[in-house]
Amino acid sequence: MSNETSDLKIISSDLKEKGAVVMMGFPGSGLVGSIALQYLVDQMEFTHIGDITSRFFPPMSMMQKGVIHAAVRIYEKEGFAALVADIPIHPAICYEVANGILDWLEDYDVKEIVTIAGIVTNEAEKRVFGVASDEEAVSKISDHTIILPMGSISGIASSLLTECKLRKIPCIGLLGETVNNPDPRAAVSAINVLNDLYSLNLDTAPLLEQAEEIEMTMQRLAEEVQGSEVPQQKKENLPMYG
């Protein structure tokens, strides 16, 4: 099945089951959504059924073992679908992308949509904050996340939540507490919530091992950079800009 507008092209097989739970992860703070969902589809052996492209996407494709993969991919398995992206969605096209995806999903009577993203805080606890498109969806996640009482979110997650609310499609936003570096630990926290909500029983131990490797690598690089830094001039001798 191909669904194309001037903004978005979706080339995919039909979802096998109506009433699926659709999970979406796009790059953002900590790459939480992308890391979590790519790990999920790999470990649970989801089937790749389609791809999404757009003239507004950056001209970039992912490669694995010499084979090109689209930067936004669609997967499916037993009542679940997952959209995994390797490219950030520019704010100028978030509305178009969100609506294009939801238009494509209209024929499948989806049960609910889950969008996974990161949220930067001053803490390092790796909590998961929750938002939703309606009060019923909020009650579903209230025991598994910290409900945000007030504030704002932005980006593609915001567009998806808003458009789902307007279309009366239940939508949940899981926001993993993170920093701006790739953050597998925040992704693990988000997966743990998915495990609780949908009884996925997905083992996160391998992802935690990757987190330790990434942290050790970053620490080593930071030490190397610090050791190679040239002593800075006194502040009063530095030129001023802007």
Phi, psi of 190, rounded to the nearest 5 degrees: -65, -40
Phi, psi of 201, rounded to the nearest 5 degrees: 55, 35
Residue 22 corresponds to which tokens in the numbers above?
A: 């659709």
Residue keyed to tokens 């499948």: 108
When pLDDT is cut at 50, 70 and 90, the band that residue 14 belongs to is very high
DSSP character for 18?
S
- Which H or E element spans position 173? strand 171-178
State the average pLDDT over residues 153-166.
93
Tens digits of per-residue pLDDT, 97-131? Answer: 999 999 999 999 999 999 999 998 878 789 999 99
CA distances, 42 to each of 38, 127, 131, 183, 206 (Å): 6, 24, 26, 18, 12
- Could you give the CA distance from residue 91 to residue 76 in angstroms, rounded to a whole number? 27
Share of the chain above pLDDT 70, in %: 87
Tens digits of per-residue pLDDT, 52-101? Answer: 998 888 887 778 788 888 989 999 999 999 999 988 898 999 999 999 99
- Could you give the CA distance from residue 38 to residue 202 in angstroms, rounded to a whole number? 13
